[in-house]
Structure 1
Amino acid sequence: MTDCVKTYFDAFNAGDTDAMLDCLTDDVAHHVNEGKIRTGKPAFAEFCAHMSRCYRENLTDMVIFSGAGGTRAAAEYMVNGTYLETDEGLPEARGQSYRLPAGSFFDIRDGKIARVTTYYNLADWMAQVK
């Protein structure tokens, strides 16, 4: 049941937040790296708007895994990005490029993503944008 995960990442790379939201349950739990859990599509949309303002990212080298039963999935990929606008508490943005490995984990319910958990090495990112 990784179709929704592939669709989600295709929408991410297209910069299509609405299509990403279509892949999620209304009560989606969004576990961000180094941050608080956000619950629900409105909180997820707000996060995406913030990210789009501060970062331009494209994911490559995508490998998607699915668990038995189709209720769990994971993905490993490379984040290729540009730091566009200074994000609060982070180094000043000057258009720096970065490239770092990342991964996401998913709970799938009724063909939609009910949980997204994303991990990357923040220290690696910080060193690249200094």
Structure 2
Amino acid sequence: MPERDAAAALVRRYYEAFNAGDRPGMLALLAEDVVHDINQGGREVGRAAFAAFLAHMDRCYREQVVDLAVMVDETGTRAAAEFTVLGTYVATDDALPPAAGQRYRLPAGAFFVLRGGRIARVTTYYNLQDWLRQVAPNGAGG
């Protein structure tokens, strides 16, 4: 049971750092060779790649995670989180619709592999079509 408690605490600290805008704090929780599976995107490896991803996200979005539920397997080596992202789209992201301060509320989830007291893999999922509807330039967004 201590492994499960420590795993849950690690995932919670990750989201606490996210909500506080503490990117160095988030990165400190990751293994150096962290694997990051991006929603409907590719796979990146390494803390430096994750830092670049966070910088890109911070340029385009202002987000907070609420309603966080963390679940851990019996070994304490795998975890999942379900949450809601409250966000504002502040700068146009590549080929996505133009940003104009649209607000969104998006159910999401993430899966984690934990190793040596650090996060070794993060895989995040959300419904991109739902997000696109919410930020649609025709006013259909939230």
- What range is the shorter-chain TM-score in? over 0.9
Structure 2 portions without partners, runs of 5+: 1-6, 137-142
What amino acid sits opposite 1:33 in the alignment?
N
What amino acid sits opposite 1:11 in the alignment?
A
Identity of aligned residues (%): 55
TM-score normalised to structure 2 length = 0.91
Shift of 1:3: 1.6
The answer to whether the aligner puts 1:95 opposite 2:80 as a matched pair is no
The answer to whether the aligner puts 1:61 opposite 2:67 as a matched pair is yes
Q: Which residue of 2 aligns with 1:109?
A: 115
The answer to whether the aligner puts 1:120 opposite 2:120 as a matched pair is no
Shift of 1:120: 0.1
Structure 1 portions without partners, runs of 5+: none
What amino acid sits opposite 2:97 in the alignment?
P
Query: Which structure's CA Rg is the greater one?
Result: 2
Partner SS state of residue 44, structure 1: helix
Shift of 1:17: 0.7
Counterpart Cα distance in 1 of 2:94 and 2:8: 34
Counterpart Cα distance in 1 of 2:98 and 2:74: 44
Shift of 1:34: 1.2
Shift of 1:2: 1.6
Q: CA RMSD in A?
A: 0.5
TM-score normalised to structure 1 length = 0.99
What amino acid sits opposite 1:65 in the alignment?
M
